[in-house]
Structure 1
Amino acid sequence: MRKPAGTSFEDWIERQVREAQERGAFDGLCGAGEPLRGLDRGFSADQWAADKARREGFDVTGMLPPALALRREREVLQRDVHELVSEAAVRAVVDDFNDRVREQYRRPADGPPVVTALLDVEALVQEWHRRRPPVPAPPVVEPAPGGRLARWWSRRRGRGGAH
């Protein structure tokens, strides 16, 4: 519906709201009769975007300032270190993290200082060993008939014995 010429937007919108109320279009809505939440705090577009992202199930760590993002990453790395696939991967991830923390310290602060401690590589490697799932034992290979193990190329060609 278009606004009629010669009518102010305020009058036109008020009339539409009043007519909708008379039709009962607002009856039974979720939260009807309750005060609006958040009116007691100031409006921030950043806060609105973060709230919207959380409601829709998105990760909001990408919206954090770099220093806070590093702090969050440190917490997650300490919590989930056991999910890395090898000790070398743990060392590489921790070294990369520590390099980025050092780089952050070298930059001028663009807000209140946020201290992020470096990670202890050896302590996280020990934690990884302690919390990782046990490695299954390798399968036992039974010798082929005749007492000798069949060579891989013999098995591939369909010949069962050793040559």
Structure 2
Amino acid sequence: MSERKPAGMSYESWVEQRIGEAVDRGDFDGLPGTGRPLPQGEADEDWWVRGYLRREDVSTDLSLPAPLLLRRQADDIDHTVGRLLDEAAVRRVVGELNQRVEESWRRPADQGPVARRVDAEEVVARWRENRTEPSPVPVTAPRTSWWRRFRTRLRRSTTSSA
């Protein structure tokens, strides 16, 4: 790009000439996406933000209003508590969600959906139903030390030879 645009040439012509020279040199060969059509743009103004969030694998939940976010968390509560190991942890997670719901009720909000509380007993019952019991650990007899086994063999050999 060290070459300056000649004085008598239009900007568009000069750019087209530079692009043609780059194509002739092969600067555009082997680029990712070669031969594929460009993605169709979306009609709204947030298309770039949504595409960026999708590419970076960022959850769009953070852009939701608080009541909708709490409703989504309430809908996903079974999945959230599914990996917990004890009932106290399940009740704690449900209690924290219900506390956030009650806090959202105290804040003034626009007209729209209202978050709902989650019944801890129902969640615990579903958690118990869906939970797989851990397999019992087989109890093995404690192994005797090598020294004790050696002494036992030694005694047997001395008593059998006597």
Category of TM-score, reference length = shorter chain: 0.5 to 0.7
Structure 2: runs of 5+ lacking an equivalent = 150-162
Deviation of 1:121 (Å): 0.1
What corresponds to 1:150 in structure 2?
none
Distance 1:15 1:5 in 2: 6
Structure 1 counterpart of 2:45, one-letter code: F
Scaled by the length of structure 2, the TM-score of the pair is 0.65
Deviation of 1:63 (Å): 2.8
Deviation of 1:70 (Å): 1.4
Deviation of 1:18 (Å): 5.9
Structure 1 counterpart of 2:97, one-letter code: F
Structure 2 counterpart of 1:16, one-letter code: V
What corresponds to 2:127 in structure 1?
128
RMSD over aligned CA atoms reads 3.5
Distance 1:22 1:64 in 2: 49
- Higher-helix-fraction structure: 2
Distance 1:79 1:43 in 2: 34
Deviation of 1:76 (Å): 2.1
Q: Secondary structure at the match of 2:76?
A: helix
Distance 1:139 1:2 in 2: 76
Stretch moving more, 91-100 or 135-144:
135-144
Stretch moving more, 129-138 or 19-28:
19-28
Sequence identity (%): 30
**Structure with greater Cα Rg:** 2
What corresponds to 2:57 in structure 1?
57
| Alignment coverage as a number of residue pairs | 139
What corresponds to 1:148 in structure 2?
none
Structure 1 counterpart of 2:36, one-letter code: C
**Deviation per residue, 1:23-55 (Å, 9 max, x gap):** 5477944206xxx6235x2313xx522321112
Contact 1:91 1:121 in 2 (8 A): yes
Q: How does 1:17-28 map to 2 (within 5 A)?
A: 17=16, 19-20=18-19, 24=23, 28=34
Q: Secondary structure at the match of 2:82?
A: helix
Scaled by the length of structure 1, the TM-score of the pair is 0.65
Distance 2:101 2:13 in 1: 55
Contact 1:82 1:127 in 2 (8 A): no
What corresponds to 1:152 in structure 2?
none
